Amino acid sequence: MPKIVVIGGGWAGCAAALTAQQAGAHVVLLERADTLPGTGQVGGIMRNNGRYTATEEMIALGAGELFRLTGENARHANVEFPGHKHASVYDVATMEARVRRYVQAQGIDVRTICRVTRVMASRPEWNAAESKESAKQSPSSTEIASAQKPRPTMANDNSITAVQSENGETFEADAFVDATGTLGPQANCTKYGNGCAMCVSRCPTFGPRVSIAGKIGVAEYMATRVGGGFGAMSGSCKLHRESVDAGIITELDRAGVCVVPIPKTLLAELKAKEEKLLAMKCCQQYALEAFAENLVLLDTGHVKLMAPFYPLADLRRIPGLENARYDDPYSGGIGNSIRFLAMSPRDNALRVGGVRNLFCGGEKAGPLVGHTEAICTGALAGHNAVRRALGKELIELPITLAVGDLIAFSNAQVRGGDLGSKYTFAGSVYFERMKSLGTYTTDQRIIRTRVHAAGLANLFTRRIAE
């Protein structure tokens, strides 16, 4: 039985662990913090816009269990808010426990408070390589393209043999998945943002994220911003439910969404500030006029404010929010976490360039935004890790499927030197592409037919290990 180690227990890591286990591997999931599934503890939005299509594709492909869990834990379904349709919003307060119980029930060895700090590889010089997860600058597009050029033979590529945790425990495996994300650490949030805003990542408590690819010397890259600079700011905050006006809570309970207009007397002043905030967001699908002229609130158990941050003094000038208090990040009045600072060069099978047995998912796989996107890429990475361990041909999802096209298209854009765009099924560049290609649909029959036509029905449920 092949052994797979997944590093990072966010949505991508959980998905990778599940598909690797379904393929017949023994799986160990390592997470530096004390909870799963990463930013899934503060997000909550599923099935909006093209994410509906991607979700149904993954269900047809046999990787639908995490989507089933979020659906069962939904506070609201078929929610509409500016620019978004048929969204499902799950309860962020109870999601973690549900995910952990399910993942462990599948026989996956889950180790929390297990921060990987060392990587051992087949080339001795790699074992002493300095970590590059806090890279000082982004490599050029030429360097990225060079790192990602397909190699004529896989036999001469180098391999990881084991990873080691901060407390010295060693985990050997046949293949590995890097799902460590791209967020933080504190120094990067200060350098590229407004300082540590005390987000759910909890770097001061559990230590900064460590990139597995970066640790062994892979030249990772960082996203760029409009107007200059690197990285992108997380796109939403959570307000303490009891600090918000009862009328707003009533509407959130009823509809799942409440759009609060900014008073005309404040509009010109606050709109100008909000437009600047929207330009900083990783979630470019929310860079719409309606988000600058209103506060868009969603019910995720907490009150989700669709802005990267909002100065507390300004927030409390808006009727109904006079007593508002932030729950995540705690300093949501001054900033938010900075992401997309350590992405790995990879191919469309999600194998990291230059490493024979390392795969990546989630934001490590490129400037991909969202829970759905993380689950999709994580699932493929976990499955292919098993295939690599068994010496089998790797799978690339066809571009006739939205998931396959997102993976291929985002990779091509990065290789071409576009480090500023972000890609999500939910909006902006990629959702527009889905509509132009005709892949966006909410017709489940059509989606299942596409998956069957590709010969991939229940791909991820097939046991491939003897």
For residues 297 and 259, the answer to whether their CB atoms sit within 8 Å is: yes
pLDDT category, 290, cuts 50, 70, 90? confident
Backbone dihedral angles phi then psi of residue 95, each to the nearest 5 degrees? -70, -40
Q: Which of 150, 191, 181 is nearest to 367 (CA)?
A: 181
Q: Count the residues in the chain.
A: 466
pLDDT of residue 1: 92
Alpha-carbon gap, residue 168 to 316, rounded angstroms: 48
Q: Residue 314 is encoded by which pair of tokens? A: 């300004």
Q: Residue 56 is encoded by which pair of tokens? A: 């149904």
Please state whether the peptide bond connecting residue 139 to the residue before it is cis, i.e. omega within 30 degrees of 0: no
Matching residue, tokens 């972000």: 422
Q: Largest alpha-carbon pair distance within the chain? A: 69
Alpha-carbon gap, residue 414 to 401, rounded angstroms: 20
pLDDT of residue 274: 60
Alpha-carbon gap, residue 385 to 398, rounded angstroms: 18
**Domains of the chain by range and CATH?**
3-185+202-221+339-461 (3.50.50.60), 235-336 (no CATH)
151 Cα distance to chain centroid? 28
pLDDT category, 287, cuts 50, 70, 90? low
Task: Evaluate if residue 87 carries a pLDDT over 80.
Answer: yes
pLDDT of residue 465: 79
pLDDT digits (tens, 9 = 90+) for 301-338: 999 999 899 999 999 999 999 999 999 999 999 999 99
CB count within 10 Å of CB 178 equals 38
pLDDT of residue 20: 98
pLDDT of residue 227: 77
CB count within 10 Å of CB 71 equals 15
Alpha-carbon gap, residue 127 to 124, rounded angstroms: 5
* Neighbouring residues of 223: CB distance < 8 A, sequence distance ≥ 6: 138, 230, 231, 232, 282, 340, 341, 343, 367, 419, 420, 422
Q: Report the pLDDT averaged over residues 407-417.
A: 96
pLDDT category, 155, cuts 50, 70, 90? very low
* Neighbouring residues of 242: CB distance < 8 A, sequence distance ≥ 6: none
Q: Report the pLDDT averaged over residues 227-234.
A: 88
Average pLDDT, the chain: 90
pLDDT of residue 140: 44
Q: Residue 36 is encoded by which pair of tokens? A: 């799963």
Alpha-carbon gap, residue 58 to 56, rounded angstroms: 5
For residues 197 and 189, the answer to whether their CB atoms sit within 8 Å is: yes
Alpha-carbon gap, residue 163 to 118, rounded angstroms: 6
Alpha-carbon gap, residue 201 to 451, rounded angstroms: 36
pLDDT category, 279, cuts 50, 70, 90? low
pLDDT category, 286, cuts 50, 70, 90? low
pLDDT digits (tens, 9 = 90+) for 340-384: 999 999 999 999 999 999 999 999 999 999 999 999 999 999 999
- DSSP 8-state assignment for residue 368: B
Single-letter code of the amino acid located at 432? E
Q: Is the dihedral of CA 329, 330, 334, 337 positive or negative?
A: negative
Q: Residue 283 is encoded by which pair of tokens? A: 């979630």
Please state whether the peptide bond connecting residue 185 to the residue before it is cis, i.e. omega within 30 degrees of 0: yes
303 Cα distance to chain centroid? 21
pLDDT category, 147, cuts 50, 70, 90? very low
Q: Report the pLDDT averaged over residues 403-428.
A: 96
For residues 91 and 99, the answer to whether their CB atoms sit within 8 Å is: no
Share of the chain above pLDDT 70, in %: 88
Alpha-carbon gap, residue 326 to 324, rounded angstroms: 7
pLDDT of residue 289: 72
pLDDT of residue 263: 87
pLDDT of residue 285: 54
pLDDT digits (tens, 9 = 90+) for 179-215: 999 998 899 999 999 999 999 999 999 999 999 999 9
Single-letter code of the amino acid located at 367? P
CA angle at residue 95 from 90 to 99, to 5 degrees?
Answer: 125
Burial pattern 187-212, b for ≥16 Cβ within 10 A else e, equals ebbeebbbebbbbbbebeebbbbbbb
Please state whether the peptide bond connecting residue 37 to the residue before it is cis, i.e. omega within 30 degrees of 0: yes
From the number of C-beta atoms within 10 Å of its C-beta (0-12, 13-18, 19+), residue 124 rates as: exposed
From the number of C-beta atoms within 10 Å of its C-beta (0-12, 13-18, 19+), residue 458 rates as: middle
Q: 260 by DSSP, 3-state: which?
A: strand
Alpha-carbon gap, residue 408 to 413, rounded angstroms: 9
Matching residue, tokens 């890429």: 377
pLDDT digits (tens, 9 = 90+) for 436-465: 999 999 999 999 999 999 999 999 999 997
Q: How many helices (H) and strands (E) does the chain have?
A: 17, 18
pLDDT of residue 160: 96
pLDDT of residue 184: 81
Q: Which of 302, 401, 295 is nearest to 348 (CA)?
A: 401
